[in-house]
Amino acid sequence: MSIARVEGRVQPARSGDPKRVGPYRIIGRLGSGGMGTVHAGLDPAGLRVAVKVVHPAQAEDPEFRARFRREVQLSSRVQGPCLIPLLAADPDAESPWLATAYAPGLTLDRHLAAHGPLTGGTLYAFATGAAQALAAIHAAGVVHRDVKPQNVILTPAGPRVLDFGIAHAADGTSVTRTGVMTGTPGWISPEHYRTGTAGPEGDMFAWGALVAHAATGRLPFGTGAPDVVAYRVMSEEPDLDGLPDELRESLTKALAKNPAERISAEAAAEECARLLAGQTTQLLGTAGPEPTRIGDCLTAEWNLPSMQDPAWSLPTPPIRKRALLTAVLTAIAVAAVSGGIVTFYSSDDRTDVDPTSERVAPSTPSVGISTPVATAATTASGTPAETTSAPAVDPRTIRIPKDPLAGVAGPAYTRAGDEAQPVADEWRASTTAGSPEERDTEKAIRDRMTSMLATKDMDFMKPTVTFNQRAQTVMVTGGPVPQLPENYQEVFRRAGEMAACSALAHRLGNDPTTWPYGRFVIYWKTSDGDLDAAALGYGEATDGCISETAGQWHGDESGMATAEVPSSDKAEIRVADAAVKAVVATWNTNTSETNEDPLDVDDGISLGFDPVENAAYVWTDDPDSRFTSRASQSNLRGAVEDAVCRKLALEFNSNKSWEYTRWALVVHDAYTGTRQFIGAGTCSW
C-alpha cells in the first residue's frame, strides 16, 4: 500500500483505528491495502501527514518486518525535488509505521481516466519533475524498481514520485525476496524480464513509458496478458504516436532495449528542463524575463487546481483552553526570566543535548554567537535592581539554528532553496577571506574540522576555506593527499559539511541582513595544480545541519562508516571500552527477567564514535545469532541505551571537551546479509 496512493479525500475513521500514532493525531483514513492502512494525521503544529501503519499479520512476520525496516532506511536516504519526504518512522513498534508529508491529488492513472492526457507546459513539467525525482533517488544509491502511473501523484504544486516499498539499494541490498519478480507488466524493463536485473537504467525505461502514457493516454506497449506485454517490451518498439516531437528524442533514448544506450535521469531532467524553459519563455513572450531556476519553470507551467477537503479543517481550541495555555506559557516565561536557570531546547536545532543545566564552562562560544555576560533587572517599584552576572554558556549546548532566516525580511543571502548544482567556475573564482567576518568564519570552519578529524588521526588533511560572494557560497577544499583511502575522503566531506553548515547557520542567524553566504561546497583536489576539482558534497545552512527526521536523530550508514574508523583519541578509546563492558553487565543483570543467555565482552559487540554528529555507534555482527528475534533485539536496545548513555553522561560532566550525546545500535540481519539499524536516539539525563 503506497503511503499516499489515495484520491486526496479523508475517509471517516473505522472502529479499531488508532487515535494517535507516534506524535500524530489521527483524524481519518486515506486508504488501505494488503500491506497496511494509511491514516490522515496532524502533527502538533497542525501539519498534514499521511501515516502508514502495517497490518498486525504482517508485523508478526520477521521477514516482512526486515523489509519494512529497510524501506524506512532507504526512504530516509532519498531527498530531492518532486519526492515526498519521510518525516518519522518506528519500524520496531508493535505495529510498525512511517509518516510522510501529505500529498493531495490524483495519481497519474486516475487523472488520465478523469481528465485525459497532459498537454503543453504541464506535460513538460511532468516529464521534468519525474526525471528530477529519479535523479535524486539514483544519486542516493537507490533504485526505485516500480515506476508506474499509480506511483506518481499530481499535486497542485507539481508531480510527486512515491512508494519505495520495493526499492532497493544500488549495491544490491534488496527490500524484496530474492528471486521474486517485482514490478508491474508494461513498466518492467527488457533486461529485468530476461535476467532479473534492476538498476537505474530500468527506472529510466519505466520513466520513458510513463511520460509517453501521460502524453497520449495509451500504454506504450499496449494491454493484454502479462506474457504478451512482456514480449512486446522485449521485442517491439513502443507506440509513440501523438507524442510531441520535442519529447520524442529523450523518450526514445529512455526506451532503448539496450540499457547501456539509455539516457540517465540527470540528463533527462536537464533535457526536459530546457524544453520546459522554452515553453515558459513562449508563455511570457520574448520581452518578458526568463525564469532563473528549474523549480520556477515547473511552477509556472504546472496547471492543476488545488484540492480542498473540509475534513482536514478542525475546530480551533476553545477560548478557555487557549487562555489556559497562554497563562501557562506566561508563567513559564516569568520563571525563566526570574530564575535564570530554565532553558528550553529543541533537539533539531542544537549540536547536542545539555545534560546538566547548571554546568559552567570556561571556554568561549563558537564564532557568530552573542553570549550575554550580565543581566539587569528592576524591582517591582521600577527602580534598578542589583546587576548580576549570568553563568557562562557551555559551548557544547549552543544551538545550531535550523532555519536562521525564518521571518527575516530582506536577507542578504538570497539563494535559499536554489536547486542549482555547484559548478567548477564558482570554485575557481573563489577567493581567500577578506573581511573580518569572513576570516572569523574561516577560522571557525578550520578549527571545527581539525577537531573532528583529529579524533580519527586524520588532521593531516588540511582544509582550505575560500569565498565566492557572487555565488553566495563558501568553498572547503581538501587534497591532494597521495594514496589516501577512500573512506578518509568521505570523513573529510562529512566533517566539512558539518563545520561549514554550523558556522554559516550561526552567522546567518546573527547577521541575516548583512551576511551573504548560505551555501557551502566541499571539493577535493587530486594535484596542487588541479583546476577541475571534484565536488564531494554541498548544501545550505538554511536546511538544518543535523540529519534528523521529525526532530529525532536516527543515525545512518555514513555515520556508521565513520564510527568504524579506529579512534586515536584517548578519551574515546577509554569510554568505548567502558561502555562495551557496561552493555554486557547491563544485559547480564537483566537476564533473570529476560530469560536470555549471558553475554561476554568477547561476544562481538563493538563501539565507535562519529565526531561529525557526536554519536556513539554500537554494532555486532551477531556470529552466534543471538539477536535475531524481536525480543532479543529489544532487550539489547534497552541495555545499549541505558549503559551507553550512562557512560556518555559521566564523561560529559567531567570532560569539558567531550561532545558525544547520541547513540545508535546496528545488528547483522541474517535475512538480508547486511547490518540493520534497530535503535538510535539522543541521551537525556
Residues 395-414 as b or e (16 or more Cβ within 10 Å = b): bbbbbbbbbbbeeeeebbbe
- First and final C-alpha spacing in the chain: 39
Give the span between the Cα atoms of 12 and 10, in whole angstroms: 7
How many other CB atoms are found less than 10 A from the CB of residue 653?
13
What 3-state DSSP class applies to 44? coil
Which residue has cell 593531516?
Answer: 460
Per the CB < 8 A criterion, the answer to whether 415 and 519 are in contact is yes
Q: At what angle do helices 486-510 and 436-454 cross, to 10 degrees?
A: 140
Phi, psi dihedrals of residue 572, rounded to the nearest 5°: -65, -40
Asked about 146 being catalytic, the answer comes back as yes
Q: Residue 136, SS3?
A: helix
Using an 8 Å Cβ cutoff, are 644 and 658 in contact?
no
Q: Which three cell numbers stand for residue 68?
A: 519494512
Q: How far is CA 482 from CA 69, 411, 475, in A?
A: 39, 42, 22
Q: Out of 146, 348, 352, 610, which one is annotated catalytic?
A: 146
Task: Please give the Cα distance from 683 to 648 (Å, whole number).
Answer: 8
**Class of residue 126 by CB neighbours under 10 A (exposed 0-12, middle 13-18, buried 19+):** buried
- In 413-518, DSSP assigns E strands to 464-468, 473-478
Q: Cell 552466534 sits at which residue? A: 624
Q: Residue 254 corresponds to which cell in the numbers above?
A: 529512455
Q: What are the C-alpha distances in Å from 610 to residues 444, 518, 645?
A: 20, 25, 15
Q: How far apart are CA 93 and CA 72, in angstroms?
A: 13
Phi first, then psi: give them for residue 605, nearest 5 degrees: -95, 125
Q: Which amino acid is at 393?
A: V
* Exposed / middle / buried, residue 264 (Cβ in 10 Å: 0-12, 13-18, 19+): middle
HEC letters along 606-663: EEEEECCCCEEEEEECCCCCCCCCHHHHHHHHHHHHHHHHHHHHHHHHHCCCCCCCEE
Q: Which helix (H) or strand (E) holds 153?
A: strand 152-155
Can you spell out the DSSP letters for 422-449? P-HHHHHT-B---SHHHHHHHHHHHHHH
By C-alpha distance, which of 437, 398, 359, 680 is closest to 545?
Answer: 398
The residues that are catalytic are 146
